[in-house]
Amino acid sequence: PSRGRRLGPHCQARFVEPGTMTRRALTLLALVLALVAGCEARIRDEPVERDGRALIPIAMDYGFEEDGSIEISIQHPVHLFTVENAPEIDKTKLGFFITASKADTALEADIAKGGCLLDDLDHTLVLFTFADMAEHLNEEGDEYKFSYTIAPGKQGEYSLYYTNCVPNTAVSFNLEVELYNPMAGGGKDYLSAGEKPLPTLYLIAFFVYAAVGAFWALTLYNSKNSQPGSVQQIHLLMGVLVFFKCLTVLCQSGMYHLIRMKGDPEGWNIAFYIFYSIRGLLLFTVVVLIGTGWSFLKPFLNDREKQVLMIVIPLQVFANIAVVILDENGPALNGWLEWRDLFHLLDIICCCAILFPIVWSIKHLREAAMTDGKKIRNMNKLILFRQFYVMVVAYIYFTRIIVFLLKSTAAYNLTWLSNFAEEGATLAFYCVTGWMFRPIVDNPYLHLNEDELELEDIEAIVEEGVEGKGA
């Protein structure tokens, strides 16, 4: 959350192919991206309008190295609002402070007790109050500038807050903030201490995913020529997923590099949002389709499976919209924390929803395995589905919980390890899934027996065929 620092990093009822709903979802998302295309992923001229909150987060969890700096500029005059007949506002009770990022609980406890955070010298370092501003304006009298440098031995992860200790008081001001660390050869490095390896990390990830994508394309080409009929539509969709993952990490590398050098992603953040959103939609769609057996076991989805996709895809669109709002607006935005919680909730719902088709397929195969003449084949499929279910659960648990815990507990200059762990888990998930469902004739997942389909599925085929003739 510095000047130029990214604040994250955090468009068919009748289903024939999954592409139609995905295209509609992407259309909706593109409209949202068009609305924020002029925004910049930094705190710059951040407006606070008639806000009476006792605590407003300005910049969260920034890792400062020794001699790292905070530069704040506030346009004057600052407008104060209070109730009628109220006493004169004590400007020493309104101001800015920094605190260790892990002191959030202590701050909330102080507010709950009715204390003023500007007096809590155990957990806060007061930068300046509104009284200081009035005494140190520039020559024109329209701006107050403040600079603070992290002293030797005080490096760490800090958050910047505004606090208001005067009841029934609101404030309006325009704020510009720069948080940066010194470069070895001089100059400003706008990346947090824990983000410095990320440009290189994501560039390496790009080349790795590109190699995986090229290997997958070669595999499909060879299988199509040597084993006709083994390459299914889902294999092509899996290749498209890897392609957009490549573009996503490439944009992340370029975005972090430009933020480091210039303090601004200069449009790379918009490209990142687009590819990140498409990749997210494709990932959940591919997992759902593999779990249902679409393209492998059957060329259609039944009504129950369609409903899962009709829930997951729109939820992913809303989750991606939440990501855009989080990244393009600073935490000072009223409701920013609610959007953050909404994103996590939608993401968890999507992760849980994609497990249902796999569970249904396991249940169906378990029942089919008890039928004479099909035990060996269905047991092989059942084992494969169980392995896929365990792998999906492990991937969700690791990327949503373990990665979060790693980022929360790592040292301020090692938070990049959470990004490394997440990319490593994602790469492993892609590779193992591709290996399990690779296009070979003897893969137990690829055997299609029409008598293994549920009655409702057969009826769905007949119904679609009748409608096709009628059209």
Omega before 87 cis (within 30°)? Answer: no
Comparing 264 with 238, which gets the higher pLDDT? Answer: 238
pLDDT bin (cut points 50, 70, 90) of residue 420 is very high
- Stretch 37-62: mean pLDDT: 72
Give me the chain's average pLDDT, please: 78
Lowest mean pLDDT among 24-33, 296-305, 350-359, 408-417: 24-33
pLDDT bin (cut points 50, 70, 90) of residue 456 is very low
For 46, the enclosing helix (H) or strand (E) is strand 46-51
pLDDT tens, residue by residue, 274-330: 898 899 889 888 887 887 766 554 555 667 767 777 777 777 777 777 777 676 677
Q: Which long-range contacts (CB under 8 A, 24 or more apart) does 234-239 make?
A: 234/286, 234/289, 234/290, 234/294, 234/295, 234/296, 234/437, 235/295, 235/437, 235/439, 237/18, 237/282, 237/285, 237/286, 237/289, 238/286, 238/433, 238/434, 238/437, 239/213
Instruction: Give the C-alpha separation, 395 to 337, whole Å.
Output: 26
User: Do the Cβ atoms of 189 and 65 come closer than 8 Å?
Assistant: no
For 277, the enclosing helix (H) or strand (E) is helix 268-292
CA dihedral sign, ordered 217, 25, 302, 371? positive
* Residue 390, pLDDT above cutoff 70: yes
Instruction: Give the C-alpha separation, 117 to 400, whole Å.
Output: 33
Buried b (16+ CB within 10 A) or exposed e, 275-292: bbbbbbbbbbbbbbbbbb
Concatenate the DSSP letters of all residues of 170-211 into one string. Answer: EEEEEEEEEEEEE-TTSSEE-S-GGGTTHHHHHHHHHHHHHH
- pLDDT on residue 148: 93
- pLDDT on residue 40: 39
Instruction: Give the C-alpha separation, 315 to 250, whole Å.
Output: 25
- pLDDT on residue 360: 75
Instruction: Give the C-alpha separation, 331 to 8, whole Å.
Output: 10
Nearest one of 293, 223, 218, 257 to 444, comparing CA atoms: 293
Q: Give the 3-state DSSP-derived string for 412-432, with helices as H, strands as E and coil as C.
A: CCCCHHHHHHHHHHHHHHHHH
pLDDT tens, residue by residue, 140-150: 878 899 999 99
* Residue 417, pLDDT above cutoff 60: yes
pLDDT tens, residue by residue, 81-126: 988 888 888 889 999 999 987 777 777 777 777 778 888 777 889 9
For 449, the enclosing helix (H) or strand (E) is none
